[in-house]
Amino acid sequence: MNIDRKILACVDTTPLADVVTDYASWAARRLDAPVELLHVLERHVELSSDQDHSGSIGLDAQEKLMDRLTQEDAERTRLARERGRDLLSGLRERAVQGGATTVDSRLRHGDIEETLAEQQEGSRLLIIGRNGRPKPDAKAGLGKHLEWVVRSATRPVLVVTEAYREPKSVLFAFDGSNVTRKGVDMLARSPLFNGLKLQLLTANKPGSTDRKALDAAVATLVASGIEATGSVKEGSPEEVVAAALATGDFDMLVMGAYSHSPLRSLLFGSKTTEMLKSTCMPTLLLR
């Protein structure tokens, strides 16, 4: 086991923490890698809900108010740490029961984005959960940080939703880009998908017959012992992938992610985000 190439599983207080842990255990078994469970307590500036802070108050009142807010904040932090330690203890036991042989946990207080940027060093896979059908006004949980996490990641990110199902058949949305070609090489060197069925799917324009890149990718994976096949379907990538997933034949999706700049995504939207919104399938995002 290479203890320097851990699986970093990011967990919060939502039910998705169990799902993240289960997929981390699955990956740990296949990669023979340790798991690190990371829970971040974010900093929030909150005022007491039953106190009116409007208007002008004297110096003594200001001092008392600040003392009260400081005490309330300290108590919230203490309770959050206790809940966090209890959460990690339960998830650590769950990961061991799921087959992970080495499980560590970290409780951090601060900004999720900054913490993940620091903690992902030494990891080979990052796992994060997101709500499969998020509410428009949802503000809590790791899901709201998803695009930033993926863009800042220097290793693959497995995004999971709703429920765990052990992967047996995987769909790879292969578009011939540098990202997906590098993804093929990475999977060929990794035991993550050994013994699983892996279908590479390319969306193409009507009448196009060029599939050299696809055939080369399949050959690379087959040579490494992966049961890989390739197919080309006419239509847009979003339509073709959605139709394949709708058959129910796959347990996981692999695709490139956020190949354009954040500014372009802001102006024109992100195909990665739209694809994630359209499916509840666990998705391995390549960068």
* 6-44+79-160 matches 169-286 in fold: yes
Ordered per-residue pLDDT tens for the chain, 287 residues: 555 589 999 999 899 999 999 999 999 999 999 999 999 987 654 444 444 544 555 567 777 777 777 777 777 777 888 898 999 999 999 999 999 999 999 998 887 778 887 888 889 999 999 875 544 444 444 455 677 777 777 789 999 988 999 999 999 999 888 889 999 999 999 999 999 999 999 988 655 656 889 999 999 999 999 999 999 999 888 889 999 999 999 999 999 876 544 433 333 335 666 777 767 889 999 87
| Residue 63 to residue 230: CA distance in whole angstroms | 69
| Residue 222 to residue 187: CA distance in whole angstroms | 11
| Residue 180 to residue 40: CA distance in whole angstroms | 31
C-alpha R_g of the chain: 22
| Residue 279 to residue 146: CA distance in whole angstroms | 15
User: Inter-axis angle of helices 59-97 and 16-31, to 10 degrees?
Assistant: 40
Contact at 8 Å (CB) between 214 and 202? yes
| Residue 193 to residue 166: CA distance in whole angstroms | 12
Per the DSSP assignment, residues forming a β-bridge with 125 are 7
Q: Look up the pTM and report it.
A: 0.81
For residue 38, the surrounding DSSP H or E stretch is: strand 35-41
The top-level CATH class assigned to 6-44+79-160 is alpha beta
Per the DSSP assignment, residues forming a β-bridge with 230 are 200
In this structure, what DSSP letter does residue 13 have? S
Domain boundaries, the chain: 6-44+79-160, 169-286
| Residue 265 to residue 151: CA distance in whole angstroms | 12
Q: Say which CATH topology domain 169-286 has.
A: Rossmann fold (3.40.50)
